[in-house]
């Protein structure tokens, strides 16, 4: 995959020049006015498959409380070929092992790391998602379509064990995990010594979940069972089950060395859920672990720009992709942000496609949320955005113009790849703006097909482009 560069200092110097030289009312015209220009005849679009930039996108292949229960692995299996055909190269699935909630568990209350729906415990043999056989079948279908399967790994909190007296807490705790207490596989049996505090670790780290069953990763046997031994969670998931990478859940609940050691032991693609809007905190985690991370800084930037503050100047805020483009996993929604009771951490549906246009054209590794892709109002446009991302979204970033309701950005391309220009407009009227591009003496078109306008860039690269009301267009050259 080609390396995409975006130097933060240059990025903001260019931005400063834009704000100092541009005026919002000098070149904006209504879209039904050709501004005295002759409209060129439509010409042939580029064949985007000829401009494969090596980039792809990931599908989050679930949502909270997926239905129908016990059928999810089969549901995914039936969609994988279609996802592969449009340019998806990885699917992220929910935690696949048995949780305390049994057939109702989304997997984030892990009890038996090695029960994939083949042991009877917590009131069920299959997990909420199906049987082990169906999971292995789904993974096989994915591999047949050149798609990697990313396992969601919950490494700090456990749930569903039996009661035992815990001398370090001086009371009974649910810290006994064995064949008859939430660990029917008999692998990685645990007791109170494996959780904080214990005879080795007095420290009791803060955790939002299951404080008394927070695994102590400093203990040698915990490390052996999680990633070191041949039958460890990491090696069993990779070598026996066939998982290709990792999504580390709630990394604020344990120390960076856990992920660093895990990846040194088994490798594979990885992305951390570090839910914090501060990009420096996320960058520090990336540097310390070697793992990728979800770009929550970009998510909150988009939420503020499109929803909360309705101000596109916020799209230039500090984001992880600006400095770590190959490690920043960008997204517009996930299973947590889209929960029914969520009011504060969500990008509104009417702004979703603009947010997807942003992440599909900027550096980073975009993720598509399952329910967004299944939305019939979104899917056709998302397929176009994936195609644009996998072809023309390459090269350095140049912010051409930005104000409260307009954002124009150019990816400068790479070699024979011409790159693209993204024009977002959140006003109630269609807009046009005359800009200077790196293209000259060529006709442009909107590859998102939200505009049927075909402007001509002159010999100096000057061209007037447009964006529909409360929408976007993605411009590039034609044949």
Q: What percent of the chain has pLDDT over 90?
A: 87
DSSP per-residue letters across 357-394: HHHHHSSSEEEEEHHHHH-TTTHHHHHHHHHHHTTT--
* CA separation, residue 167 to residues 123, 191, 199, 207 (Å): 30, 12, 10, 20
> For the residues 7-36, what does the mean pLDDT come to?
43
Name the pLDDT band for 38 (thresholds 50, 70, 90): low
Which is more confident, 38 or 8?
38
> For the residues 351-364, what does the mean pLDDT come to?
98
φ/ψ (deg, to 5) at 134: -70, -35
421-476 confidence digits (pLDDT tens): 999 999 999 999 999 999 999 999 999 999 999 999 999 999 999 999 999 999 99
Residues 60, 292: Cα–Cα separation, whole Å: 16
> For the residues 135-149, what does the mean pLDDT come to?
98
Is 164:191 a contact under the CB 8 Å cutoff?
yes
Q: Would you tell me the crossing angle of helices 279-289 and 256-266 to the nearest 10 degrees?
A: 40
Q: Average per-residue pLDDT in the chain? A: 92
C-alpha gyration radius of the chain: 25
Q: Which two tokens stand for residue 284?
A: 């520090």
pLDDT of residue 204: 77
Residue 9 has pLDDT above 80, yes or no: no
Which is more confident, 23 or 449?
449
pLDDT of residue 206: 72
Nearest CA among 33, 184, 16 for reference residue 100: 184
With a CB cutoff of 8 Å and minimum separation 6, the contacts of 284 are: none
Residue 348 has pLDDT above 80, yes or no: yes
> Domains of the chain by range and CATH?
8-49+397-477 (2.60.40.1180), 52-154+219-389 (3.20.20.80)
DSSP per-residue letters across 47-80: -GGGG--S--EEEE---TT-SSTT-HHHHHHTTH
> For the residues 345-370, what does the mean pLDDT come to?
97
């Amino acid at each position: 995959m080609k390396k995409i560069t975006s130097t933060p200092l240059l990025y903001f110097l260019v931005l400063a020049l834009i704000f100092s030289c541009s005026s919002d009312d000098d070149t904006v015209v209504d879209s039904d006015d050709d501004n005295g220009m002759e409209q060129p005849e439509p010409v042939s679009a580029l064949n985007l498959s000829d401009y494969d930039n090596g980039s792809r996108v990931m599908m989050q292949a679930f949502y909270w409380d997926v239905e129908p229960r016990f059928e999810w692995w089969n549901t995914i299996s039936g969609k994988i070929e279609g996802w592969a055909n449009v340019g998806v190269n990885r699917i992220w699935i929910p935690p696949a092992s048995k949780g305390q909630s049994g057939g109702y568990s989304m997997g984030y209350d892990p009890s038996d790391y090695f029960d994939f729906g083949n042991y009877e415990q917590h009131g069920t043999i299959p997990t909420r998602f199906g049987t082990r056989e169906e999971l292995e079948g789904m993974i096989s279908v994915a591999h047949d379509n050149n798609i990697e399967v990313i396992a969601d790994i919950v490494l700090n909190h456990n749930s569903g064990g039996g009661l035992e007296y815990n001398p370090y807490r001086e009371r009974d705790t649910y810290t006994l995990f064995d064949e008859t207490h939430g660990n029917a596989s008999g692998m990685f049996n645990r007791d109170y010594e494996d959780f904080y505090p214990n005879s080795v670790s007095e420290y009791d780290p803060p955790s939002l979940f299951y404080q008394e069953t927070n695994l102590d990763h400093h203990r040698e046997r915990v490390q052996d069972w999680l990633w070191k031994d041949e039958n460890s969670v990491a090696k069993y998931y990779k070598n026996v089950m066939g998982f290709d990478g990792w999504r580390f859940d709630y990394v604020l609940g344990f120390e960076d060395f856990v992920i660093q050691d895990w990846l040194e032991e088994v490798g594979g693609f990885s992305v951390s859920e570090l839910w914090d809007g501060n990009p420096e905190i996320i960058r520090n985690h990336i540097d310390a672990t070697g793992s990728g991370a979800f770009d929550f800084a970009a998510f909150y930037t988009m939420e503020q720009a499109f929803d909360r503050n309705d101000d596109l100047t916020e799209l230039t805020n500090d984001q992880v992709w600006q400095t770590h483009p190959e490690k920043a996993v960008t997204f517009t929604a996930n299973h947590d942000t889209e929960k029914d009771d969520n009011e504060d951490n969500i990008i509104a549906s009417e702004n979703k496609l603009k947010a997807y246009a942003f992440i599909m054209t900027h550096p980073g590794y975009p993720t598509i949320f399952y329910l967004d892709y299944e939305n019939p109002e979104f899917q056709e446009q998302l397929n176009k955005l994936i195609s644009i991302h996998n072809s023309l979204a390459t090269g350095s970033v140049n912010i051409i113009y930005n104000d409260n309701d307009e954002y124009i950005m150019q990816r400068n391309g790479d070699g024979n790849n011409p790159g693209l220009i993204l024009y977002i407009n959140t006003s109630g009227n269609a807009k046009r703006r005359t800009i200077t591009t790196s293209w000259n003496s060529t006709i442009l078109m909107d590859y998102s097909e939200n505009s049927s306008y075909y402007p001509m860039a002159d010999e100096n690269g000057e061209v007037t482009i447009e964006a529909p009301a409360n929408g976007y267009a993605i411009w590039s050259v034609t044949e």
